[in-house]
Structure 1
């Protein structure tokens, strides 16, 4: 039985609503109090229907290097590695990125990195690093001038490299 809808205006409106709600709860509980307790007989079933959990969407596939894959296929993994590098060291430099990418399975011989310092010895405002993958490149950049970390996939330059300008030897 549902309680009647009470509509009142004036100073006693809230009190009437609270009273009606309290009465409905009390009536509902009173109905439970008078119910007989279940008997414990061997023939009585004690099974309780438990709804099965709703199916969930499958977990996303793990991001991993796609050996022999394209730069586009490997961009999510490239980003994952570089974000992890920055999480471990927010001041990561070129070597930190290269070492992390090599440890993650990218080929060092396909990489380029810019210098970490300016020609007068100051910290570079941003560094770029790349991995050539066939006829495309994964390019990452990090630094104040870059607005933090960013990446993209670009075609290989006519020089056969990925980065424009001076890069440093990856000889470690």
Structure 2
């Protein structure tokens, strides 16, 4: 997952939701499993960072791209089984 997100960050330092979803699919995750954060704010501006997450058992693997840099983290799955509150699947 990190490798695909780093490729994406190198080619598009501020990717959109579709690009994040495609990178996660390239990493081997089914699109139906991937949650992606919004790429536009409620006021219509581009976000500073975009995240994608995949639940794996009781944890979520989360990748973030911000200004061409990738950050990864592992957090617990939420009570409803999702990784994000209000995220787009």
Same fold (TM over 0.5): yes
Higher relative contact order (CA 8 A, sep 6+): 2
Counting matched residue pairs gives 89
Structure with the greater alpha carbon radius of gyration: 1
Does structure 1 retain, via aligned residues, the 8 Å contact 2:17–2:37?
Answer: yes
Name the residue aligned to 1:104: 27
Look up the SS of the partner of 2:13 in the other structure. coil
1:162 equivalenced with 2:73 (yes/no): no
- Aligned counterpart, 2:9: 86
Q: Structure 1: where are the runs of 5+ without partners?
A: 1-77
Aligned equivalent of 1:135, options 58, 67, 87? 58
Structure 2, unmatched stretches of 5+, are none
Give 1:137 shift. Answer: 1.0
Q: Which residue of 2 aligns with 1:12?
A: none
The 4+ residue runs of structure 1 with deviation greater than 4 A are none
CA–CA distance in structure 1, aligned partners of residues 43 and 59 of structure 2:
33
1:113 maps to: 36
Q: CA RMSD in A?
A: 1.8
Write 1 or 2 for the structure with the bigger share of helix.
1
Question: In the alignment, which residue of structure 2 is the partner of 1:150?
Answer: 71
The TM-score with structure 2 as length reference comes to 0.84
The structure whose residues are more often strand, as a share, is: 2
1:34-63 per-position Cα deviation (integer Å, ceiling 9, x unaligned)? xxxxxxxxxxxxxxxxxxxxxxxxxxxxxx
1:129 aligns to what SS in structure 2? strand
